[in-house]
């Protein structure tokens, strides 16, 4: 519904940041699909102002703030955005029914633009493993997550969009993968470790240090927080980190090794990791195919799934998954 989507102009944003946070600065729009985000630049500091779609529950937004506060104590050596409280000392503010949050801005290069190396792959694992170790003890708050179709534990729900995948080879491969997953992987999910996970540690949310191209400097966007199988965070990161990578063996081995130095995988998790990685690619392909069906004039939607289709094909060809 259109009235649920925020659409504030910059003049209104300027008033909001002064009244709520006592901040005056330059305002520029940031890309956002269903919400509205702005970069706020003062003479000394940068912030991100996030205005949430009304469909997100207050409890879900509050949990995101609570997790960020928790991580400052549970994993102080890792870098995440920090909550900036309003003039009344609150983490969440409301204007015209829209929830508003102000976060610190993290400097760094998006992983998608960074030069890949074995050292960087290993450091992705290190960062994510330390995050998983911190989150295994977090249990407070609303953890339903956001879009159910993007929850990896719920990936079978994406099968409804399989027919919309226009590439026949990809569609057949995904169909076979759904069958294998439903028979051999899905029954194992209840026995896997559960925790609140980030849910979207992808190439757009991992930051690489500006001073060290082999080091992950931060993780942003906690909008997919959910209670789920904890191994899903590693599977999701593998799916996105290996897009366009020729040497899957090297890259995945480095990421997994870095992860396990911080947080050891259980045998049951290790056995199905590449299948879970593949199913995240399935989610990406089927959901983008659904979007392309809704917006047929946008050719980029289908083109953008090409790396995911290529990686999924490579996983089967190199026998990381058996279909």
Least confident of 28-32, 134-138, 266-270: 28-32
State residue 14 phi and psi, 5-degree precision: -60, -40
Residues 123 and 195 reside in one and the same domain: yes
pLDDT exceeds cutoff 70 at 22: yes
Tell me if residue 5 falls in helix, strand or coil. Answer: coil
Give the chain's domain count.
Answer: 2
11 within domain boundaries: yes
Cα 91 → chain centroid: 22
Rg (C-alpha) for the chain, rounded Å, is: 20
Which pLDDT score, from 0 to 100, does residue 128 have?
A: 98
30 within domain boundaries: yes
Which pLDDT score, from 0 to 100, does residue 175 have?
A: 98
Q: How far apart are CA 121 and CA 206, in angstroms?
A: 12
Residues 123 and 241 reside in one and the same domain: yes
Q: How far apart are CA 202 and CA 206, in angstroms?
A: 6
Residue ranges of alpha helices (H) inside the chain are: 10-21, 58-74, 118-135, 168-180, 232-241, 248-262, 267-294, 300-303, 306-317
What's the rounded mean pLDDT across residues 135-152? 84
Residues 117 and 76 reside in one and the same domain: no
Q: pLDDT tens for residues 73-120?
A: 999 999 999 999 999 999 999 999 999 999 999 999 999 999 999 999
Q: How far apart are CA 290 and CA 149, in angstroms?
A: 11
Question: pLDDT band at residue 295, thresholds of 50, 70 and 90?
Answer: confident
Q: pLDDT tens for residues 107-143?
A: 999 999 999 999 999 999 999 999 999 999 998 767 6
Sign of the four-CA dihedral 4, 86, 222, 39:
positive
Residues 272 and 215 reside in one and the same domain: yes
pLDDT exceeds cutoff 70 at 168: yes
The pTM score is 0.95
Residues 71 and 159 reside in one and the same domain: no
Question: pLDDT band at residue 205, thresholds of 50, 70 and 90?
Answer: very high
Domain of 65: which CATH number? Answer: 3.30.200.20
309 within domain boundaries: yes
Of the residues 105, 130, 153, which one is the last residue of a structural domain?
105
Residues 162 and 303 reside in one and the same domain: yes
Domain of 219: which CATH number? Answer: 3.90.1200.10
322 within domain boundaries: no
pLDDT exceeds cutoff 60 at 155: yes
What's the rounded mean pLDDT across residues 140-151? 80
Residues 68 and 40 reside in one and the same domain: yes
Question: pLDDT band at residue 147, thresholds of 50, 70 and 90?
Answer: confident
Residues 289 and 221 reside in one and the same domain: yes
323 within domain boundaries: no
Residues 275 and 157 reside in one and the same domain: yes
Question: pLDDT band at residue 255, thresholds of 50, 70 and 90?
Answer: very high
What's the rounded mean pLDDT across residues 184-211? 97
Of the residues 105, 129, 158, which one is the last residue of a structural domain?
105
42 within domain boundaries: yes
Residues 153 and 62 reside in one and the same domain: no
Which pLDDT score, from 0 to 100, does residue 141 have?
A: 67
Which pLDDT score, from 0 to 100, does residue 1 have?
A: 45
Q: How far apart are CA 198 and CA 132, in angstroms?
A: 9
Q: Please, what's the b/e burial string for 81-114 (b: 16 or more CB within 10 A of its CB; e: otherwise)?
A: bbbbbbeeeebbbebeebbbbbbeebebeebeeb
222 within domain boundaries: yes
Residues 214 and 308 reside in one and the same domain: yes
Q: How far apart are CA 287 and CA 161, in angstroms?
A: 7
Residues 223 and 89 reside in one and the same domain: no
Tell me if residue 34 falls in helix, strand or coil. Answer: coil
- The most distant pair of C-alpha atoms in the chain lies apart, rounded to whole Å, by 58
What percent of the chain shows pLDDT beyond 70?
98
Of the residues 105, 127, 157, which one is the last residue of a structural domain?
105
63 within domain boundaries: yes
Cα 62 → chain centroid: 18
Domain span including residue 221: 110-317
């Amino acid at each position: 519904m259109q009235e649920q989507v925020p659409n504030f102009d910059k003049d209104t944003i300027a008033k909001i940041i002064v009244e709520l946070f006592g901040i005056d600065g330059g305002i520029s729009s940031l890309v956002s699909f269903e919400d509205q985000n702005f970069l706020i630049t003062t003479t000394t500091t940068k912030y991100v102002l996030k205005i949430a779609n009304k469909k997100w529950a207050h409890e879900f937004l509050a949990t995101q703030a609570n997790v960020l506060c928790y991580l400052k104590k549970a994993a102080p050596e890792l870098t995440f955005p920090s909550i900036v409280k309003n003039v009344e000392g609150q983490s969440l503010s409301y204007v015209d029914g829209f929830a508003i949050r102000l976060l610190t801005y993290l400097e760094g290069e998006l992983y998608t633009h960074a030069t890949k190396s074995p050292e960087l792959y290993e450091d992705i694992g290190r960062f994510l493993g330390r995050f998983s170790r911190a989150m295994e003890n977090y249990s407070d708050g609303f953890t339903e997550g956001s879009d159910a179709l993007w929850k990896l534990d719920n990936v079978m729900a994406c099968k409804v969009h399989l027919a919309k995948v226009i590439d026949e080879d990809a569609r057949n491969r995904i169909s076979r993968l759904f069958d294998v997953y439903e028979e051999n992987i899905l029954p194992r999910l209840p026995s896997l470790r559960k925790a609140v996970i980030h849910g979207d540690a992808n190439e757009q949310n991992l930051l690489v240090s500006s001073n060290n191209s082999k080091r992950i400097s931060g993780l942003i966007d906690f909008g997919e927080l959910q209670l789920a199988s904890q191994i899903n965070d590693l599977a999701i990161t593998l799916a996105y980190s290996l897009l366009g990578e020729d040497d899957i063996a090297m890259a995945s081995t480095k990421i997994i090794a870095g992860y396990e130095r911080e947080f050891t995988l259980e045998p049951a998790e290790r056995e199905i990791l590449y299948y879970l990685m593949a199913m995240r690619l399935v989610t990406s392909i089927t959901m983008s195919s659904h979007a392309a069906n809704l917006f047929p004039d946008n050719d980029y939607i289908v083109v953008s799934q090409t790396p995911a289709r290529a990686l999924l094909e490579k996983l089967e060809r190199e026998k990381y998954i058996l279909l």
